[in-house]
C-alpha cells in the first residue's frame, strides 16, 4: 500500500507545475455550482474550442513541460479577450483505462511509463495563434476542437494522490448505467496548487470520460 501511495503521489504531482500558474494569478471559478457533481452524472456536452499542447514522453517530465508551453502560448493569442477569468485548465491522458480492473490497480500500473495526451484551455472561436509560434522542447501549441457528446463525470475533492476511489465510483456508475468508456481519461482542474490557504485536501478536480451505450 505504501508503494502504491508513492506512485499515485508522483502521478498526481506531474501536472502541478503548470496548473500552479493558473491558480497563483487568477481567482478561479465560483465552485458552488459544481457541488452536485460530487455524485456521478451523465450529460451531453457540445464540442469545445481549445488551445492545446499534445505530448508524449516520460510521465514525470513531459506533462510539466507541456503546461509551460500551454500557458506561454495562451498569453500570446490574438482575438482572446483579456480581463476576464481564464477557463480552468484540463488534460486528456491516453491511459487506456481498463474499467474491468479496480481503479487503484489501473493507476498503479502506470508507474513511470511514457504518457501520451494533451493539456488544454478552452478559448473563444475568435482566438488565433501568432504568425510564428515555434516549438518549445519539441512541443507545439495548436488550436483544436475537443469533441464530447455523451460524457460521465464526477467531482473529486481532495489531493491528486487520493483520486482512485473517486475514479472507481465513476467507473462503477458508468457500468451500472449500461455505458462503457470510449475515450481518454480527462481531468479539469477547478482548484489546485497556488490558491492561497488551500491544501491538497481542498483541490477540486472534475474527472470525465466520453461514453456510449455498451450494447
Within 13 Å, how many C-alpha atoms sit on residue 117's CB side?
26
Domains of the chain: 2-213 (3.20.80.10)
Within 13 Å, how many C-alpha atoms sit on residue 191's CB side?
22
Q: Which of these, 142, 148, 137, lies nearest to 51 by C-alpha position? A: 142
157 pLDDT more than 50? yes
Rounded average pLDDT over 54-77: 90
The overall average pLDDT reported for the chain is: 83
14 neighbors 107 (Cβ within 8 angstroms):
no
pTM here? 0.82
The pair phi, psi for residue 37, each rounded to 5°, is -75, 0
SS (H, E, C) 43-87: EEECCEEEEEEEEEEEHHHHHHHHHHHHHHHHCCCECCCCCCCCC
pLDDT digits (tens, 9 = 90+) for 85-118: 788 999 999 876 666 677 777 677 666 678 899 9
Lowest mean pLDDT among 104-108, 109-113, 184-188, 205-209: 109-113
Lowest mean pLDDT among 5-9, 100-104, 109-113, 172-176: 5-9
Rounded average pLDDT over 138-144: 94
Give 13 or 182, the one with higher predicted confidence. 182
Amino acid at each position: 500500500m505504501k508503494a502504491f501511495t508513492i506512485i499515485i503521489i508522483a502521478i498526481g504531482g506531474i501536472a502541478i507545475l503548470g496548473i500552479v500558474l493558473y491558480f497563483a494569478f487568477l481567482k478561479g471559478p465560483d465552485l458552488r455550482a459544481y457541488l452536485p457533481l460530487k455524485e456521478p452524472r451523465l450529460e451531453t456536452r457540445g464540442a469545445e474550442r481549445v488551445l492545446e499542447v499534445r505530448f508524449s514522453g516520460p510521465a514525470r517530465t513531459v506533462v510539466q513541460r507541456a503546461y509551460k508551453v500551454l500557458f506561454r502560448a495562451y498569453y500570446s493569442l490574438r482575438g482572446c479577450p483579456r480581463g476576464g477569468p481564464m477557463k480552468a485548465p484540463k488534460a486528456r491522458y491516453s491511459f487506456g483505462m481498463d474499467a474491468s480492473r479496480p481503479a487503484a490497480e489501473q493507476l498503479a500500473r502506470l508507474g513511470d511509463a511514457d504518457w501520451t495526451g494533451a493539456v488544454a484551455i478552452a478559448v473563444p472561436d475568435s482566438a488565433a495563434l501568432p504568425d510564428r509560434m515555434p516549438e518549445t522542447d519539441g512541443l507545439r501549441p495548436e488550436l483544436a476542437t475537443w469533441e464530447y457528446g455523451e460524457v460521465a463525470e464526477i467531482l473529486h475533492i481532495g489531493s491528486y494522490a487520493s483520486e482512485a476511489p473517486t475514479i472507481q465510483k465513476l467507473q462503477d456508475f458508468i457500468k451500472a448505467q449500461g455505458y462503457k468508456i470510449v475515450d481518454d481519461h480527462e481531468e479539469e482542474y477547478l482548484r489546485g496548487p497556488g490558491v492561497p490557504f488551500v491544501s491538497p485536501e481542498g483541490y477540486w478536480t472534475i474527472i470525465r470520460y466520453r461514453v456510449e451505450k455498451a450494447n
